[in-house]
Amino acid sequence: MRALVYNGLGKFALQERPVPTLQGPGDAIVKMSKTTICGTDLHILKGDVPTCEPGRILGHEGVGVVHEIGSGVSTLKVGDHVLVSCISSCGQCEYCRRGMYSHCKTGGWILGNRIDGTQAEYVRTPHAQTSLYRVPAGVDEAALVMLSDILPTGFECGVLNGKVEPGSTVAIVGAGPIGLAALLTAQFYSPSQIIMIDMDPNRLACAKRFGATACLDPRAGDVADAVMKLTDGVGVDCAIEAVGVPATFELCEQLVAPGGVVANVGVHGVPASIFLDKLWDRNVTITTRLVDTVSTPMLLKTVCAGRIDPGRLITNRFAFEEAAKAYETFSHAADTHALKVIIEM
């Protein structure tokens, strides 16, 4: 089979690999039909993810068809169309029982990291029964690919942790795929304002089309001032950090209203400051989370019912042979205006 293999710092190639085989009774082999590239794949290529060693097949998102199934999997059968979750969960360990699949003792984010991933014609998925989701025929499969990672991430780490409620005010810093996923799913709760903050005019224009009530570019003036003006001088009930640098986390601390929540989503590589001298008396909550994908079944229902269309995040489509071009396009998003790219096997 063909697979996209990480070959060390900055290097990857489409290579021939053997089709994976079942290694345990809980495994499935999925024949992939569509996958995508995540910002995290770019982090791997930059050498930021030491657990992902050279030789690893990349990718942790996608949809496909069950090709082979372990004897311990009773809820899926060969031929089922499935969504592959970016998080593998055993469903039984202490963390899984608490709904913290991301910290599963024998799973978590392993696909395309500690074990071979989904940017291949076939992938072995451990804990298949609790990590694959059967998808109904006839639903736009490309849109479903958005449910492997970015939609649950924006929703769980941003909207749920941020306690978005009817009428509440929300600011989302970062209008990348994750920030836009938070924007789409925040609207389940009818907040009164969703203010998007980014310096990429194309992404802000997208945010406007996706339902943002205001869009702010930090280069055009003081963002904190502008948010205060939009919120009667108090700030927002929920400030979602969807970038992953100290400046944007610290901005969220400035934007949050008394009693509000700073919900961090971004992956941070260096420390950021918590200004307790400003925050100690403001009754605020700061949350962090690695996506658990515990909301995937619920999100699937909303997509199948047409309540949200994550397919709107797809900007480019490539054949598997064009994977290098897909990476090139995705990694130069400011120039190419790419949000999510679909790679078809």
Ligand X SMILES: NC(=O)c1ccc[n+]([C@@H]2O[C@H](COP(=O)([O-])OP(=O)(O)OC[C@H]3O[C@@H](n4cnc5c(N)ncnc54)[C@H](O)[C@@H]3O)[C@@H](O)[C@H]2O)c1
User: Is 242 a binder of ligand X (CB under 6 A)?
Assistant: yes
Give bridge partners of residue 16 from the DSSP assignment.
Answer: 2
Site string for ligand X, 189-208 (x = CB under 6 A): --------xxxx--x-----
Q: How far is the CB of 284 from ligand X (least distance, A)?
A: 19
Q: How far is the CB of 333 from ligand X (least distance, A)?
A: 6
Give bridge partners of residue 133 from the DSSP assignment.
Answer: 83
Instruction: Residue 222: count other Cβ atoms within 10 Å of its Cβ.
Output: 12
Q: How far is CA 183 from CA 113, 121, 187, in A?
A: 28, 32, 7
Helices (H), the chain: 39-45, 94-97, 128-131, 141-145, 150-152, 177-186, 201-209, 223-230, 246-255, 276-279, 296-304, 323-331, 333-336
- Contact pick of 104, 204, 223, 238 for Zn ion (by CB under 5 A): 104
Give the pairing type, strands 193-197 and 214-216.
parallel
Which does residue 96 bind out of Zn ion, ligand X, none, counting CB within 5 to 8 angstroms by kind? Answer: Zn ion
Q: How many residues bind Zn ion (CB under 5 A)?
A: 7
Binding segment (CB under 6 A) for ligand X, from list 74-82, 129-137, 288-296, 311-319: 288-296
- Contact pick of 247, 274, 298, 319 for ligand X (by CB under 6 A): 247
Give the pairing type, strands 2-6 and 122-125.
unpaired
Binding positions for Zn ion, 22-41, rule CB under 5 A = 38, 40
266 contact partners, CB below 8 Å, separation of at least 6: 174, 241, 242, 243, 244, 245, 248, 249
Which does residue 235 bind out of Zn ion, ligand X, none, counting CB within 5 to 8 angstroms by kind? Answer: none
- Contact pick of 26, 59, 260, 266 for ligand X (by CB under 6 A): 266
Site string for ligand X, 209-228 (x = CB under 6 A): ---------x----------
Binding site for Zn ion (CB under 5 A): 38, 40, 90, 93, 96, 104, 149
Binding site residues, ligand X, CB under 6 A: 39-40, 153, 157, 173-179, 197-200, 203, 218, 242-245, 247-248, 265-267, 289-291
